[in-house]
Amino acid sequence: GAGVSQSPSNKVTEKGKDVELRCDPISGHTALYWYRQSLGQGLEFLIYFQGNSAPDKSGLPSDRFSAERTGGSVSTLTIQRTQQEDSAVYLCASSLNSYSNQPQHFGDGTRLSIL
């Protein structure tokens, strides 16, 4: 079956521009997560959606970052007024539910480069 799909796979943009990253989770998965991996760093939690509950935004690094999940399916991560430190691989994952024994299924990521 189809896995988690992310687009674009690569994005190069100038500092100060806004970018939008898209994630299409596995059908039927109620939990969706965004992470990023900066160069030399581990995976950093950004935001979590579970069903119709309010998202856990505690990992968003600044108010330039926002995310939404429409209709409980597709999610978009938006970064406004991008900075060079935003350059990273942004990964989306989904899981059947939010129980800790459920593995997360990852997309291939979006590699974001800010010039």
Partner 1 sequence: ILNVEQSPQSLHVQEGDSTNFTCSFPSSNFYALHWYRWETAKSPEALFVMTLNGDEKKKGRISATLNTKEGYSYLYIKGSQPEDSATYLCASGTYKYIFGTGTRLKVLA
Binding site for partner 1 (CB under 8 A): 3-4, 31, 33, 35, 41-45, 48, 50, 56, 58-59, 91, 93, 95, 98, 100-109
- Any bridge partners for residue 89, and if so which? 37, 111
State the minimum distance, in angstroms, from the CB of residue 112 to partner 1: 16
**CA angle, 56 then 59 then 61, to 5°:** 135
Residue number with CB closer to partner 1 (31 or 112): 31
- Comparing CB distances to partner 1, the nearer of 12 and 45 is 45
How do beta strands 31-37 and 44-50 pair? antiparallel
Closest approach of partner 1 to the CB of residue 110, in Å: 11
Distance CA 78, CA 86 (A): 11
Peptide bond into 8 cis (omega under 30): yes
Beta carbon of residue 68, minimum distance to partner 1 (angstroms, whole number): 18
